[in-house]
Amino acid sequence: MNNVYVEIGTNYNPEWGVEKLTAGHTVYFIEPQPEAFSRMIDYVRANCHRYFHKARFVNVAVYSKSCLVDFETDTQFTTNSAAVTIQEAMNTTNNIHGQRTMPCTYLVHACSLSDLLCHIANTTQKQVSGVLIDTEGSEMPILQGWGFTNKPTELIIEVHHPSNQTKIRYMLSEHYDYVKTEANPQNIYVESKHLYFKLKENTDER
């Protein structure tokens, strides 16, 4: 069975999405940072050549609404918060994944989670089976801007701030059952956790 999955914030090594692609499913890989986006396509091609034709690559940020946003980055690592200003980026030296970096900044297109899922549903004519959101701390505004349309069956959300775990569980409780919390072995931040949710059986899919 060909299901549809979406990985938001892939960086350059989307292992979760590649696992779904290797199983023969259609996967949308979403990454706003241009260099990471290019390297991610090469990674998917190298690790899943047989099903590469089922991959869909989208170079866009996902945020609370569809707009243009300032995006802070350096040549090797990325923060997907999409919430800094150009002046802040010029005046600040950030510590990204343990590396001291001077960021450059540029504008990227951003879309809301609602708009993204609506587009995918209209394009594939299928309900999305699963979504992984790993956006380096911007999970709260992404979820706050979601109107709970085109709800995926399963949600995995990487939460970087411990205080947001309870907030997200409450935010989703009307539509999703909480399943479990696990550490993300790929992330060096000790407080980063993966929260797993499943769509309630009595909730409309659309």
Question: Which tens digits make up the pLDDT trace of 153-193?
Answer: 999 999 988 888 999 999 999 999 999 998 876 655 556 78
Nearest to 8 by CA among 28, 34, 30: 30
Instruction: Give the closest residue to 110 by CA, choosing from 64, 42, 46, 41.
Output: 64
pLDDT value, residue 201: 86
Dihedral-angle region of residue 30 (phi above 0 means left; psi in -120 to 50 means alpha; beta otherwise): beta
Q: Please, what are the domains in the chain?
A: 4-65+112-199 (3.40.50.150), 70-107 (no CATH)
Has this prediction a pTM greater than 0.85?
A: no
CA distance 56 to 37: 12
24, 30, 182 from 61: Cα distances, Å = 26, 7, 25
Residue 7 has pLDDT above 50, yes or no: yes
If phi over 0 gives left and psi between -120 and 50 gives alpha, with beta otherwise, what is residue 159? Answer: beta
Cα separation, 186 vs 69, in Å, equals 27
State the pLDDT at residue 135. Answer: 86
Q: pLDDT digits over 63-106, tens only? A: 887 777 666 543 223 344 333 333 333 333 343 344 434 444 56
Q: Is the pLDDT reported for residue 196 higher than 90?
A: yes
The 10 Å Cβ neighbour count of residue 111 is 20
